[in-house]
Amino acid sequence: MPEGLAEMLMDTWVPLVILWITAFPSIYMAPMNHSQVLPSRSSRGLNELSEEQRVLNRSKRGWVWNQMFVLEEFSGPEPILVGRLHTDMDPGSSKIKYILSGDGAGTIFVINDKTGDIHAMKRLDREEKAEYTLTAQAVDRDTSKPLEPPSEFIIKVQDINDNPPEFVDGPYHATVPEMSLVGTYVTKVTATDADDPVYGNSAKLVYSILEGQPYFSVEPHTAIIKTALSNMDREAKEEYTVVIQAKDMGGHMGGLSGTTTVTITLTDVNDNAPKFAQSLYHFSVLEDIAVGEAIGRVKANDLDIGENAKSSYDIIEGDGMDIFEITSDSQSQEGIIRLRKPLDFETKNSYTLKIEASNVYIDPRFISMGPFKDTATLKIVVEDADEPPVFSSPTYLLEVHENAAINSVIGQVTAHDPDGSSSSIRFSIDRNTDLERQFNINTQDGKITLATPLDRETSTWHNITIVAMEERNPSQISRVPVAIKVLDVNDNAPELVSGNEAYLCENGKTGKVNIVIDKDDPKNGHYFVYNLPSEMNWRLYFLLCSLLMFLMSFSLLL
């Protein structure tokens, strides 16, 4: 115990101890009749009592104490007198011996066996042990026979304010929404005091705030922490340190105190609108960018966090609403401008769009602070790209007679450079489609000529691919398919179906003789003229046949 506290206790309690001794036993010893103090005795104990003792018992004599008190933490140069035991059977002849047993007897508490005075030999701590149960007995000093039955009594350790309040669960952490009204509940803290809560004010606690004003307050008796200032803005300050004090003795001077720290974090509410960093954004894009590709990104910054910072983007007006679109990136919270339709520098080379960013989630408590949106302007410039040549037709169909002369022109393809600074075009034939090199093309004007004779009866169609290439940039090329149809001419004579012989069916229909074919394919079908040789020719024919048969027979005989 601190020296000053010991002196204070001495100044306070010594007169009381003296008074107690002076007033003894009226204050700390309550007279008790015999039936109150005597426990039930065994028959043996009754027989051992003298007749004189029996008479005394019948006279309702007995112990004259009930309980005693000793001040905790008290120490001095001498043992502390706790109280005195006395029986009305003591004639003062010093033949009575007082015996003490029980909690701490002989070590903490010592009795003078002649006078019955009980002294505390050690400094006591109520928080360690609040009371001691002991047993007292008076016996004959010479024979050690009991003069009275043993009886229990209690020595209570009287509390002093020697323990400060403690916040066993601290330090604390709590949250409260920003912009909360004054008086909004934040959290509750609790302190404990080891002193006696039913004796005096040693454990009566009062709470106060030492640090954290003017933002927070604490209720003195419940230790509930509340907001004390409205419109606390998380974006300005997110975390506060509050120091709470608990003081015993009802908060009065001289009481002991303890403190704890409460870290209070403001949680976010949607009280800020998204805001573009610029009012005007410039983008440039090549005209040959693919549909769906991103042109650029914009971002509307929101001072809020989490769900409260999510924004959606829209194009609300402009001359390219059908050409461009804007989508939201859920990770970066950016607006991504993408192409919806192909661009053509030669048709339109600039666009102006107005975009809007708005919060996805709106807190109805702060809707009056709106609108929770912002707008900006986009200027998109389309740059000319070096585009490949463009043919005048996606496909070509040419026709040529099979008897066309070598180097004759059978058709022409045309192409142009769509770029502003037009380049000359060179034409060529993809030889993988003309392995026999039957055609040529003029590299300057795209005229296709015949390189080898054609035969419709061998091949009616020829499919080739023409390549157009910019002279200025040979990497810019285009391809177009060309189908060439070979037209028929009458360049084949009729032929008998069965070689040099003709056959007629005996039941063949009149006028339906099919003994001649023609490889040509005139548009209106074939018209043949048939005639027989003269009679002389027939005789000569049969004569030759007979001669031939004679020669064959003669050769067989040989």
Domain 275-383 has CATH 2.30.40.10: no
- Looking at residue 508, what is its pLDDT? 57
Please provide the DSSP assignment of 44-109 as one string. HHHHHS-HHHHHHHHTT--B---EEEEETT---SSPEEEEE--BTT--SSS-EEEEEEETTBTTTE
pLDDT at position 442, please? 95
Predicted TM-score of the model (pTM)? 0.57
**Looking at residue 506, what is its pLDDT?**
60
Residues in contact with 466: Cβ distance below 8 Å, sequence separation at least 6, in sequence order:
391, 396, 413, 427, 428, 429, 430, 441, 446, 448, 479, 480, 482
CB distance 113 to 99 below 8 Å: yes
User: What pLDDT is attached to residue 55?
Assistant: 35
Cα angle at 204 between 200 and 206, to 5 degrees?
145
Encode 386-404: b = buried (16+ Cβ within 10 Å), e = exposed.
bbbbebeeeebebebebeb
pLDDT of 364 reads: 84
Cβ 260 vs Cβ 278: under 8 Å: no
Is it true that 67-158 and 166-267 share their CATH fold?
Answer: yes
CATH topology of domain 67-158: Immunoglobulin-like (2.60.40)
**Close Cβ partners of 128 (under 8 Å, ≥ 6 residues apart):** none
Give residue 499's pLDDT. Answer: 57
Identify the CATH number of the domain defined by range 166-267. Answer: 2.60.40.60
Give pLDDT, residue 140: 87
Q: Domain extents for the chain? A: 67-158, 166-267, 275-383, 390-487
pLDDT value for 23: 28
Output the CA–CA distances (angstroms, integers) from residue 140 to 106, 123, 145, 184, in the order listed.
Answer: 20, 32, 5, 74
For 338, phi and psi rounded to 5 degrees? -125, 160
Half-sphere exposure of 119 (CA within 13 A, CB side): 12
CATH of domain 390-487: 2.60.40.60
Q: pLDDT by residue for the chain (558 residues), tens digit each?
A: 444 444 433 333 332 222 233 223 323 333 333 323 333 233 333 333 333 343 334 333 344 456 788 887 777 778 888 888 887 776 666 788 899 999 989 899 999 988 889 999 888 888 888 899 999 998 888 888 888 888 888 998 887 888 899 999 989 999 999 999 999 999 999 999 988 888 788 899 999 999 999 999 999 999 999 999 988 999 999 999 999 999 999 988 889 999 999 999 999 999 999 999 999 999 999 988 999 999 999 999 999 999 999 999 999 999 999 999 999 998 999 999 999 999 998 889 999 999 999 999 988 888 877 789 999 999 999 998 888 899 999 999 999 998 899 999 999 999 998 876 778 999 999 999 999 999 999 999 999 999 999 988 888 899 999 999 998 889 889 999 999 999 988 766 566 565 555 555 666 565 555 555 656 566 645 555 556 555 556 566 667 777 777 776 666 666
pLDDT of residue 299: 96
